[in-house]
Chains A and B, each alone.
Chain A
Amino acid sequence: MVYKEFIQMRRDRLTFAMMVGIPLLQLTLFGYAINTDPRQLPTAALISDDSPFARRFLAALQTSDYFQLGDRLDNAAQADRVLALGQAQFVVQIPSGFERELLRGERPQLLILADATDPSATGSALAALAELPNRLLAEQMRGPLAAYAPQAPPFDLVIQRRYNPEGLTEHNIVPGLMGVILTMTMIMMTAVAVTRERERGTMENLLATPVRPLEVMLGKILPYVGVAYVQVTLVVLAAMWLFAVPVRGSLALLYAAVGIFVLANLAVGVFFSTLARNQLQAMQMTFFFFLPSLLLSGFMFPFRGMPNWAQAIGELLPLTHFLRIVRGIMLKGNQAAEIFAHLPPLLVFTALALALGVLRFRRTLD
């Protein structure tokens, strides 16, 4: 019995490959790609006081290893924009006259804006930040100035956690869950449903009728678009009522974005169905796609914590972009203009997956 099982396992090459492949994939992803202490987070600076102190402060940020200084911004609107688009994780804002007020002992405010959508992405950086003023001052007020070195820093470091001020993980997870659920169910349902038609021979019947292959394919996947919208509605309702997650942007915009994302996943499902010889294989392929989506998209672990190669893979996955969109709409209140910035990679993926799915699907019997 055991022997027969092994023989059958070996005959089913793909299943066998998957059985080896999935653990390897898991090992690689968990072992190398995941890092819960992200560093080098992109930080933009809005400096209105170009003083030696400001430069020192920025240099100190840079050397702390948590912050990667990037763009210099000119005004507050730009600061809002880079955060809303997720281009920067932090914005450091040093108001004009900062050094003057500092020397006069007026306790000026130094503002750090953080995109706190994902509390775990900003957590350790902000903790490091709290240490920074003391270290900085101890350094600066050496020598003759040492006498003036105060006990407490002579300025206030104000941290503004945007979008998720209380740092509630569920605010980040619940909208993300929508994308995860859609990825899992859409790919699996189409892949299995189409593979089942082929496995049972009913596909041959369908293709022998005047109905065109493309129509057969659309007929197979359209019902799942309906299923997807039911799922999305459920998640939105649960987010609002059970988890008190805000919905700051437009639901209509969200539903439109869901449409594109669902299409991408359905196309992947159809493509898998053209490769799988049976429903088990279809399930395994779904899993093979789902695992990296789950781990590399920024759903479970901060996207910016991953090594470059893992981020590059993540950028290819539709879930990564959908997460940015859904979090953008629900938490950041992103408008259409900001959402469009996330669309091109998603659209390219959808178009490629559809083309591949349709092409392979048309040759089902050949």
Chain B
Amino acid sequence: MSEAVIEVRGLTKRFGDKTVVDGLDMRVEKGQIYGFLGPNGSGKTTSIRMLCGLLTPDAGQGRCLGMDILTQAQRIKRRVGYMTQRFSWYEDLSIAENLRFAARLYGVPNVAQRVDQALDDLGLSARRQQLAGSLSGGWKQRLALAASLLHSPDLLLLDEPTAGVDPQARREFWEHIHDLTEAGITVLVSTHYMDEAERCHRLAYISAGRLLVEGTPQQVLDHVGLQTIVVEGASAAQRQSLAALEGVEQAVVFGTAVHLSGSNAERMGHSVGRYADQQRLRWQRVQASLEDAFIHLMQSQRGAGPNRSASTQAGAARGR
């Protein structure tokens, strides 16, 4: 097992009487891209804030970059780059001014040189004098990333970095992230995009503050154990009938196709196959996507409550 960059146990945070993060265990190894998934309000941002010392956990302990998150937050901050969920640089300062300010906050030596280099690396040089407030989402995101990298951190915490960014910029962003991990940086990234989840080395899925599944994307899929059947060209009425068939737990429309998923492959295959053949619809088994898996998790979580999450957490531990 290689070196752990983040290792926390039982991390808990309460706001008032609401437990926002509930006994979170997590281990992230050096050089990994670790995806952090979960519906809105599930506690991703709160967890990330506890990791970098912005919030004090109410319970739990852990180490980040080998330092105690409870007592050494100040030292952790020096070696962590944190990109907040919301753009949080100064809209009334130019790109270069923002970067210079960030460099000084971290006490980076040779500020001017470091800022020029950062501008070059991220292709911001031509816009250096532009006010941050006038930038589009993609450029703001580049600026925020550049700012969080100025002090050459060992760990990057990215909180929904690509929300509201166009696909082209997202792709470039992820290429950049991959380059960084090649260079030895560890990345923890929260996201709602499944294509991004697929690019991560490992994933954690949390819901209502509890960790439900953890592992490589394949392990997550195996754990959820979902089967998917794609049926082409069904009408609205047929789709409704399909969704009501035995073993079908979830039906999602993708253009002209409908994806039917269920955890009991045999039962679903049997009923769907019979109905589709009857109605002369084309159908085929495919591998369940992460998206299907997560929607399944979300729905089963909503229906089942704590018992179920306990059993899946045990499953997660086995998945490692």
Contacts and interface: CB of A to CB of B under 8 A. Distances in A.
A204 B53 CA distance: 11
Contacts of B74: 210, 212
B105 A210 contact: yes
Interface stretch (B80-88, B212-220, B228-236): B80-88
Contact of A201 (B49, B88, B102): B88
Given A365-B54, A366-B55, A366-B56, A209 B105 contact: yes
Contacts of A205: 82, 84, 88-89
Interface string A196-226: 0000111011111111100000000000000
Given A210-B106, A210-B107, A211-B105, A204 B77 contact: no
Interface string B133-146: 00000000000000
B90 interface: yes
Given A208-B77, A209-B77, A209-B106, A202 B88 contact: yes
Given A209-B105, A210-B105, A211-B105, A202 B90 contact: yes
B80 to A, nearest CB: 8
A200 B78 CA distance: 23
Given A208-B54, A365-B49, A366-B56, A201 B77 contact: no
Interface in A179-208: 200-202, 204-208
Nearest to B107: A210
B52 A208 contact: yes
A201 B105 contact: no
Interface residues of B, number: 22
Contacts of B84: 201, 204-205, 208
Contacts of A204: 49, 54, 84, 88
The SS class assigned to the A binding surface is loop
A289 B87 CA distance: 33
A202 B89 CA distance: 6
Contacts of B54: 204, 207-208, 365
The size class of the interface chain A forms with chain B is 10 to 19
Contacts of A201: 84, 86-88
Contacts of B53: 208
A310 B107 CA distance: 50
Interface in A310-366: 365-366
Interface string A153-173: 000000000000000000000
Nearest to B52: A208
Nearest to A209: B105
A205 B90 CA distance: 10
Contacts of A207: 54
Interface in B40-71: 49, 52-56
A365 B55 contact: yes
Contacts of B77: 208-210
Contacts of A202: 88-90
Nearest to A205: B88
A347 B171 CA distance: 58
A342 to B, nearest CB: 40
B49 A206 contact: no
A200 B88 contact: yes
B201 to A, nearest CB: 24
Interface string A247-266: 00000000000000000000
A210 B52 CA distance: 10
A202 B84 CA distance: 9
Contacts of B107: 210
Q: Which residue among A210, A211, A366 has the maximum number of chain B CB atoms within 10 Å of its CB? A: A210
A200 B102 CA distance: 16
Nearest to B46: A365
Contacts of A209: 77, 102, 105-106
Contacts of A212: 74
Contact of A208 (B56, B82, B89, B90): B82
B152 to A, nearest CB: 14
A366 to B, nearest CB: 6
B89 to A, nearest CB: 7
24 contacts: A200-B88, A201-B88, A202-B88, A204-B49, A204-B54, A204-B84, A204-B88, A205-B82, A206-B105, A208-B53, A208-B54, A208-B77, A208-B82, A208-B84, A209-B77, A209-B105, A209-B106, A210-B74, A210-B105, A210-B106, A211-B105, A365-B54, A366-B55, A366-B56
Interface of B: 49, 52-56, 74, 77-78, 80, 82, 84, 86-91, 102, 105-107
Which 6 A/B pairs are nearest by Cβ-Cβ distance? A201-B88, A209-B105, A205-B88, A208-B82, A201-B86, A210-B77
Given A365-B49, A365-B55, 5 more contacts: A201-B86, A204-B54, A205-B84, A208-B52, A210-B107
